[in-house]
C-alpha cells in the first residue's frame, strides 16, 4: 500500500494512492488519483494535438485498477478552468462547467470505451487488436447538433498535427446518430449512419430527412457497388462529398478526376424520390461499367407517372481529348405535368410525345458546361399549349404581340389566348453549339395559329435572334383572310368561299403570312415586322 504519492505525467502533477489485494486468486492493483486535464495530457494519452484549441487546465479524479489480464479506468471532471475553441458541441468558456465522464475496460485484445460530454455527446466504442493487424474500432455516437461547416478547417488542422499511428485505426463498425446535422446549406434531421466493415467490403445504412438508403461494396478482382435508396437528395449528397473533398484534398493534386480507373467498381443503383438541383424524379435506375477512361453508362432509366427517360453514354474521369456524352429518348404522357415535376413551371400545358437527345461535352463528366455543350435535340409533341405567362425563352412565342395581331384582323383573341397558344403539333430539330441553340425547322401548329421558327437562342449570353413566321388559321381550315375582309359578320360568306375552294382544290392555302424578327437580350426582347404578304 502506498499513500499520498506524487508524480508528474505530461507536465501535470498527480497525487495518487496505490492498493493491492488478492481477488479470486488474482492480484488486483487499484490506483486512486487526482490530477489535471490539459491539451498536453490529451496529446500524451490519446495522440490528438489540441494545442491552439484548448487552454488552461481542469481538475480531474479517477480510479485505475488492473491485474495480469485486464484493466479498468474511470475518470470524472467538470472541466472548469479549461476553455475550448473547438466548434459546438465541444466549445466552452474557461469558467463554465461541463461534466466529462470516461469509462474504459481493457483486456489483452479488446478495449471498451464509454464517454459522456455534457448532455449533448455520448460515445460508446470498442477497439479490437489482433496480432499482426491494425486496430479495428467500433463506435456508437449520439450528438444533438453538429454543424460540419464549422469543423472543416479544424479537422484539417487536427489531421496535420495528429499522431500518424492514430490514423491507422480502421473502423469495424460505426453508428453515428445526430438529431440535427448541418452541412453546406443543408440541414438533415434525425440523421443516422451505420457502417459495417467486412473482409469482402463494407455496408453503409443511412437514414435522414434528405437521404435514406443502403450501400454495399464488394471488393475483389471485379469490385461492385450496389446502391438502393428510398430518399435521394443528390444536392445533399454533393454537399457531403464537397465537404469531404475539401478536408482530405492534396493542394498539389486535382481531385476533379481519377488518375487510374483500374480499380473502379461497377455501380448498380436503384434510387427513389430523387432530387437534383430543382429537378425531381420519382425513380432512377442506372448501371455504370468501368471503362478505360472512366465509366460506360450502360443504362439510365428515369421514371415518373407522366414520363420515362432512357439513355446510354460515356462518362470520362480521366482528362483526354475524347468527349463525355449521353444520348437517349424521353417519352411524355403529359408534358406540362412532367416539366412541373422537374421544377420547370408555366412553360407548356398538357401535351404528349417524345424528345430525343444526343449531347456531348469535352473532357470530364464533371466538366459539363452550357458554354461547351454540343449536340442535337429532336422534339415531337402533340395536343398541348404554350402558356401565355411564362419565364425564359418560351415567352418569346408571345413577344411578337399576338393580341395586336388578332386585333388587326378584327378578331377577338381574349378567349383563345387565355390558356396560351394551343398546338396540335410542336416539332423541331435543335442543334446545340457552344452556348447557342440553333433551329431552322421548328413548327408550332395550332387551331388558330401556325408558327415557323428559325434562328438562334443564346442560353449562355441569354439573348435571341429569331425569324418567326405566323400564319393565322380558324378552325384549323377556314382562311382568316376571308374573315379579315369584313369581320365576323361575314362568317357565312367565308364558309361558302371555303367550301367552294375546297371543292376545286385538294389543299387550302393561306395567303396571309406575318413575319417577325425577334431579337435582343432575354430581359428586353424586341420584335419587328419584316414582311407581310397578302
pLDDT of 260 reads: 65
Mean pLDDT for the stretch of residues 52-81: 94
Reading the block at residue 90, the C-alpha cell is 465541444
- Which residues sit opposite 433 in a β-bridge? 374, 436
Q: Between residues 214 and 123, which one has the greater pLDDT?
A: 214
- As a whole number of angstroms, the longest Cα–Cα distance in the chain is 125
C-alpha cell at 85: 475553441
Q: For the residues 279-286, what does the mean pLDDT come to?
A: 90
pLDDT for the residue 531: 64
| Cβ atoms of residues 356 and 377 within 8 Å | yes
Is 75 in contact with 101 (CB distance < 8 Å)?
A: yes
Going by pLDDT thresholds of 50, 70 and 90, the confidence category of residue 215 is very high
Total-model pTM:
0.71
pLDDT greater than 60 at residue 383: yes
What's residue 288's pLDDT? 95
Find cell 485498477 and name the residue: 65
Q: Is 209 left (phi over 0), alpha (psi -120 to 50) or beta?
A: alpha
Residue closest to 428 by CA, chosen among 414, 440, 437: 440
pLDDT at 477 > cutoff 50: no
Question: Which cell is 400 given?
Answer: 411578337
Q: Is residue 1 pLDDT above 90, yes or no?
A: no
- In this predicted structure, what is the pLDDT of residue 388? 47
Q: Please list, in sequence order, all residues whose beta carbon lies within 8 angstroms of the beta carbon of residue 482, skipping any fewer than 6 positions away.
A: 490, 493, 494, 497, 498
- Least confident residue range of 143-147, 257-261, 427-431, 490-494: 490-494
**Residue 95 confidence (pLDDT) above 50:** yes
**In this model, does residue 301 exceed pLDDT 50?**
yes
Confidence of residue 420 (pLDDT cuts 50, 70, 90): low
Residue with the bigger pLDDT between 281 and 213: it is 213
Judge whether residue 334 has pLDDT over 80: yes
Q: What share of the chain has pLDDT > 90, as a percent?
A: 41
Which of the residue ranges 239-248, 416-425, 442-451 would you say has the lowest mean pLDDT? 416-425
What value does the mean pLDDT take over residues 420-448?
89
Check whether 478 has a pLDDT greater than 80.
no
* 3-class DSSP assignment, residue 393: helix
What does the mean pLDDT of the chain come to? 80
Higher pLDDT: 176 or 512? It is 176
Residues making up the chain, counted from first to last = 534
**Sequential DSSP letters for 129-186:** --TTS--EEEEEEEEEEEEHHHHHHHHHHHHHHS-HHHHT-EEEEEEEEEEEEEETTE
Region of poorest pLDDT, from 154-163, 379-388, 426-435, 485-494: 485-494
Q: For residues 376 and 429, is the Cβ–Cβ distance under 8 A?
A: yes
pLDDT of the residue at 387: 74
29/170: higher pLDDT: 29
Tell me how far CA of residue 348 lies from CA of 258, 361, 432, 521, 531, in angstroms. Answer: 41, 28, 21, 22, 29
CB count, 10 Å around CB of 8? Answer: 9
Q: Which H helix or E strand runs over 336?
A: helix 335-341
pLDDT at 254 over 90: no
In DSSP notation, 37-102 reads E-HHHHHHHH----BTTEEE-EEEEEEEEE-SSEEEEEEEE--TTEEE-SSTTS-B-SS----EEE
- The pLDDT value recorded for residue 407 is 40
Of residues 455 and 481, more confidence is placed in 455
What is the pLDDT, as a whole number, of residue 391?
38
pLDDT of residue 131: 55
Half-sphere exposure in the Cβ direction for 414 (13 Å, CA): 1
* 320 pLDDT tier (thresholds 50, 70, 90): low
Dist. CA 490–CA 495, nearest whole Å: 9
319 or 213, greater pLDDT: 213
pLDDT of residue 436: 93
Amino acid at each position: 500500500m502506498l499513500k499520498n504519492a506524487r508524480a508528474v505525467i505530461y507536465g501535470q502533477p498527480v497525487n495518487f494512492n496505490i492498493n493491492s489485494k488478492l481477488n479470486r486468486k488474482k492480484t488486483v492493483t487499484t490506483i486512486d488519483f487526482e490530477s489535471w486535464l490539459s491539451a498536453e495530457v490529451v496529446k500524451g494519452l490519446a495522440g490528438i494535438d489540441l494545442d491552439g484549441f484548448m487552454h488552461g487546465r481542469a481538475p480531474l479524479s479517477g480510479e485505475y485498477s488492473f491485474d495480469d489480464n485486464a484493466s479498468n479506468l474511470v475518470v470524472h471532471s467538470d472541466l472548469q478552468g479549461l476553455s475550448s475553441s473547438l466548434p459546438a458541441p465541444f466549445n466552452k468558456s474557461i469558467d463554465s462547467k461541463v461534466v466529462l465522464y470516461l469509462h474504459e475496460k481493457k483486456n489483452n485484445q479488446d478495449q471498451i470505451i464509454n464517454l459522456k460530454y455534457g448532455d449533448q455527446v455520448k460515445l460508446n466504442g470498442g477497439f479490437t487488436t489482433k496480432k499482426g493487424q491494425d486496430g479495428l474500432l467500433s463506435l456508437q455516437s449520439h450528438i444533438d447538433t453538429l454543424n460540419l461547416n464549422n469543423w472543416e478547417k479544424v479537422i484539417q488542422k487536427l489531421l496535420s498535427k495528429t499522431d500518424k499511428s492514430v490514423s491507422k485505426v480502421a473502423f469495424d463498425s460505426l453508428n453515428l446518430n445526430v438529431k440535427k446535422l448541418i452541412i453546406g446549406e443543408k440541414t438533415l434531421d434525425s440523421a443516422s449512419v451505420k457502417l459495417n466493415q467486412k473482409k469482402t467490403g463494407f455496408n453503409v445504412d443511412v437514414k435522414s430527412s434528405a437521404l435514406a438508403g443502403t450501400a454495399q461494396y464488394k471488393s475483389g478482382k471485379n469490385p461492385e457497388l450496389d446502391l438502393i435508396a428510398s430518399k435521394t437528395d443528390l444536392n445533399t449528397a454533393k454537399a457531403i462529398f464537397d465537404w469531404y473533398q475539401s478536408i482530405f484534398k492534396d493542394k498539389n493534386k486535382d481531385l476533379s478526376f481519377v488518375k487510374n480507373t483500374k480499380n473502379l467498381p461497377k455501380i448498380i443503383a436503384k434510387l427513389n424520390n430523387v432530387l437534383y438541383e430543382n429537378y425531381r424524379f420519382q425513380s432512377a435506375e442506372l448501371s455504370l461499367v468501368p471503362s478505360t477512361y472512366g465509366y460506360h453508362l450502360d443504362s439510365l432509366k428515369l421514371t415518373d407517372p407522366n414520363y420515362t427517360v432512357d439513355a446510354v453514354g460515356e462518362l470520362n474521369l480521366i482528362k483526354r481529348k475524347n468527349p463525355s456524352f449521353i444520348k437517349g429518348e424521353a417519352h411524355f404522357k403529359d408534358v406540362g405535368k412532367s416539366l412541373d415535376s422537374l421544377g420547370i413551371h408555366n412553360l407548356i400545358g398538357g401535351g404528349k410525345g417524345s424528345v430525343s437527345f444526343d449531347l456531348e461535352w469535352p473532357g470530364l463528366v464533371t466538366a459539363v458546361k452550357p458554354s461547351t455543350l454540343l449536340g442535337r435535340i429532336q422534339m415531337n409533341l402533340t395536343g398541348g399549349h404554350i402558356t401565355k405567362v411564362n419565364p425564359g425563352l418560351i415567352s418569346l412565342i408571345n413577344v411578337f404581340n399576338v393580341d395586336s395581331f388578332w386585333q388587326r384582323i378584327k378578331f377577338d383573341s381574349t378567349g383563345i389566348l387565355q390558356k396560351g397558344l394551343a398546338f396540335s403539333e410542336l416539332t423541331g430539330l435543335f442543334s446545340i453549339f457552344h452556348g447557342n441553340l440553333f433551329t431552322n425547322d421548328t413548327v408550332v401548329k395550332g387551331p388558330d395559329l401556325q408558327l415557323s421558327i428559325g434562328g438562334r437562342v443564346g442560353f449562355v449570353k441569354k439573348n435571341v435572334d429569331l425569324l418567326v413566321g405566323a400564319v393565322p388559321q380558324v378552325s384549323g381550315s377556314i382562311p382568316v383572310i376571308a374573315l379579315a375582309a369584313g369581320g365576323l359578320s361575314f362568317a357565312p360568306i367565308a364558309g361558302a368561299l371555303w367550301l367552294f375552294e375546297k371543292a376545286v382544290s385538294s389543299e387550302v392555302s393561306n395567303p396571309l403570312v406575318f413575319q417577325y424578327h425577334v431579337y435582343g437580350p432575354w430581359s428586353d426582347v424586341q420584335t419587328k415586322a419584316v414582311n407581310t404578304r397578302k
